[in-house]
Chains A and B, each alone.
Chain A
Amino acid sequence: MKWIFLDGIPIYQQIVQIMQIRIANGEYPLGSRLPAVRDLAMEAGVNPNTMQRALSELERSGIVHSERTSGRFVTEDEESMRQLRFMLGKESIDAMFTSLGHLGLSKEEIVQAVTARANELDE
């Protein structure tokens, strides 16, 4: 996940999302230590205070926690990780419902189609 920022959305919110994706996809593994604020800010090319704000936001949501002296760590809790993945996946699911809805499929038909497709992919 690269650091690309869109116009018109606060930068710290975009950093939160990029960090969530990086944590969900294992780029920052469970229980691992995150790089220092300034290093992350450098990498992303953003203001250190903005990075700090984004990390505090992640802390509030429980995905990372800070140890007084040793830095910030990704949660070790599998359950909050699972919730994070579902939360991030929701957007793609919504987009799928919208675009398939435009094709005239009902919610039930979409669910059936997804299940059928999942079975096909398993084979």
Chain B
Amino acid sequence: MAELQAMTALGAHDPARVVCGPLTITERIDVALASVATRRGKDLTKAAKAAGVPLAEPGCHLRGMPYCTFWTAPEMWFVEAPFDSHERIAEILKSDLGDAASITEQTDAWVILDLAADDLSPLLERLCNVDFAGQPVGHATRTMIDHLGCYLIKQGPGAARVYGPRSSAQSLLHALEAAAASVW
């Protein structure tokens, strides 16, 4: 059978790149994602260290190669890796972490939008209750944007990654665009 053609969360073949004044929104389809949760009584910290998976502290995103993680819930993390090399991220992690963790593929559950501007604070204060300016780089939190439960990761004063529910990708993008037009 022919290989199935992927469609982006925004309904296109190629990822979107939208410029709204000083803001650039870049859709990322090159990130593989899985949740990793500690199995009760198992030493995930040790297994993760051995597998090269850096486990972030609560409220944080931690960079590594090839894995980056951010904390999502007590004893649960989302693990990011390059899609090209880690499309089957859940299987790879399962074999690496063994029975220390419950692992679930999350790649297609989310739309990833990278935001870039000189200063994202004026934009984000119209969208969510996160004190973006007051948080350090690497801050990662769940927050509501336009009624949608999203993850927001601060990569710098002018750089952030938003994980939004995939099915609402268009609504999320629209909310970002509308807020950008409001602010700038």
- To the question of whether A and B form a pair in one complex, the answer is no
A contact residues vs B (CB 8 Å cutoff): none
B contact residues vs A (CB 8 Å cutoff): none
